[in-house]
Structure 1
Amino acid sequence: MYKREKSIQIKSSASALYNNLSILPITDKNLTYFAVIHGSVVNMVSASTDGLNLSHRQLQSKEGGMVHGTSLIIQASWCVLPSRILLVLASQKGIQMYESDGSIMVYWHAVDTPEMPTEAVFARGIAATKNNYICVGISTGSILVFNVPPKGTNITVSEVLEQHRDPITDIACDCSENKECVADLVTADDSGVLCIWKSGKDFKLMHKIAAYGGPCSSVKMWSGTIAAGYGSGQILIYDAATGTVHVEVNGHARWICALDMASESGKLLSGAEDSFLRIWRIYRNSESNTIEVEHEHTECITDIQICGAKFCDPEGNAFAVTGYDLSEIIRYVRV
C-alpha cells in the first residue's frame, strides 16, 4: 500500500508532455531533485526527504548561450554517468547539457533545420549508458550519441544511429546491475518501432521490433526485459535478448504518458491520461524462463491528466506524479 504525502509546489504548471517529470535522488545529502517542464522553462525543486525544506530554481531555455523564450523544451532528464551527472534538456532548437544542479551549461548542440521545413524539428528521448555516452533522439528518427568526458566541456558527437524513420519518442538504458545482459539500450519512435542496441565504442543493433499499432510513448529497460507503453493504453513486455513479446498488459483505458522502473526491485510504474497510476512487479520465471507480470497497486488522481510519473528511490518505496496544468508534484510513500 502507498499513502499520499504532502505535495511539492512548483513555480509554474506542468506542460502536456508525456514523460514530463525527472527525479534525481541525492542519498548522501537526503535530498531529491525534481524537474518539470512548463513551456520554455524547467521548474527545478530540491526537496528534503520529508518534503519540508524546498529550494526552487527555474531554468530558462537557452540556445547557443542566448535566452530564446520561444524555444519550447520537450524533455528534461538527469543522466547519471559513471563519473558525473548532467541535466540534459531536449528542445525545438537543440540539446543543452548542464551541471546536475542547473547552475552551469557545459554543452549545447543545435538541431539541424532543413532549408524548407515541412514538419517541426525537435529533440526528444534522453538516456545515459553505463560507459559515458548520452543518447538523444531527434524528430528525423536519428539518435545522436554523445561521448562525455569525466569532467570538462569537451563533449563530442561520436556516432549517429540511423534505424528509425519516425520521430524518436523515448530512449532507455538498462537500469539494473545485471552484467550478463548483452543488449542494454532501447529506442522507440512515433510509429511504435523499437530498436534494441548494445552500447559501446560502436553501437550495435541487436533487434528491430516492428510497429505495434500506434506510438510507443514511453519505454524502460531492466535486467534484460523491456517495458513499452503505447497510445492504446497497453504495456508490452519484451525479452531484450530475443526481441520477443512475453506479456501483453491492458493496463490503462487511455494513452500511457509515463513508465518507470525501480532498478533494485523490478517494479514498474505506469501512468496514463485515464488518471490512473499502477504499479506492477516484473520477474523472470526460473522454471519456464518466461517473463511474468503481477499487478501490485493502483491509485486514481481524479480529474487530473497525468503527464509524468517516477519512482523516487531505487527500491520503489516512493513515487511522484505530475499532471497537466497542475502546479504541484504529488508524492506517494509505501506504508
Structure 2
Amino acid sequence: MARHASLAEQLSAFRRYVTTPDHDPEPISTNWTVTPANDNNPEEVAELRHERKRIVTPSVAEIMRHVKEGDVERNDAGQIVRIGKLRFSDGKQTEKAYRLTIDGKIEQYDARMPTGAMLGTRDKVDTALGGAENPQEVTESNIYFAEMLDTRQHKYVTGKKFRGERVKTTREETKRELAEAYSNTDMTKVTFIHYPDGLPCGSAKVADSFLGMQKTTCSGGGSTMWQDIVSEREERKEWLDAVGNMANDHLEILTMSAKASSLKQIGIARGYKGQYAIEAGRRLLVAANDNFQQAMELANYAKDPKTT
C-alpha cells in the first residue's frame, strides 16, 4: 500500500472534521407559488398574475408615419378609405370576429365594421414576457471582454438572408488557382495588412459566445426535503458533542491542520525543526485524528446506547 494512501485512510475522521460546516443547515426557500395550476379557489389565485406581450398591429408609430407621409384616398361619398397603406371602412366591409351564443358557446361570425374603422388591425396577446436585456449592461459587458482579451471593440454584424451562390471546388482546384495567382502577382508590390485581434460578431452580446458562462438546466436541484434537514441537524449536534469531548491539545492540532499546508508546518508550530518537524507533524495529526474518532463514537453511543 502506498505511504500517502495509508495515511489518508487513517485520517478519515479528520476529513469529516474539515468538511463539516460550522453552521446549522439552512432550509432552501423559494419565491415560487405553491398553488396548483388547476386550483380554482378565488382567494388563492387572486394575487397571481401572468404578464404577456401584447402585439398591436399596426403600431402607433407606423400609423403616425402613414398619416404624415401617406397620400389620402376618398370614395365617391367623400369618406376617407385609405391613408398610405392604412385602409378604413366605409360601413360596408366585414371582418371575422367571435361572439357568445345563448348557450354560452363561442362562434365565429362576420362583423360589420363601422364607418371610419381601420381595417386589418390586430390586437393579440403573444408570448409571455421575461427579463429584457439592459442595453447599457450589454455594452459594459462587451467592453469588459475587449479589455480583458486585449482586442478591438465588439461590433455586431447582422446576418444576411442571401449570401450569394456557393461555389464548390476541390482541393486540387484551389491549389491550382492559388499557384496561378502567385505567379501573376509581383510580391514586392503587395502590402500585407495585419488586422488586430477581434471578438465574434455574430451576437450582440459577446458573453453568448462563451458557453462556459451560460447557465443551463440540469436534472438536479429543488428544495431540500425536511427529512434531510433533520438528519443534518442531528449529525451537526453529534459533531459538536464530539468536539466538546476532545482534549484541548488535540482540538488545537485539528484546527491548525485544517489550515496548514504541510505536515512540516504542523510540527514547526509545536516546536520541532528540520526533518523531525515532518515526522512530528504526522504523529500529532494521527493522534488528534484518533482522539476525534473516539469522541465521535462516544457521542454516537450517548445518543443511542444500543449502538455498538
* Same topology, TM > 0.5: no
Query: Which has more helix, going by share of residues?
Result: 2
Q: Which has the higher contact order (CA 8 A, sep 6+)?
A: 2
**TM-score, structure 2 length as denominator?**
0.17
Larger radius of gyration: 2
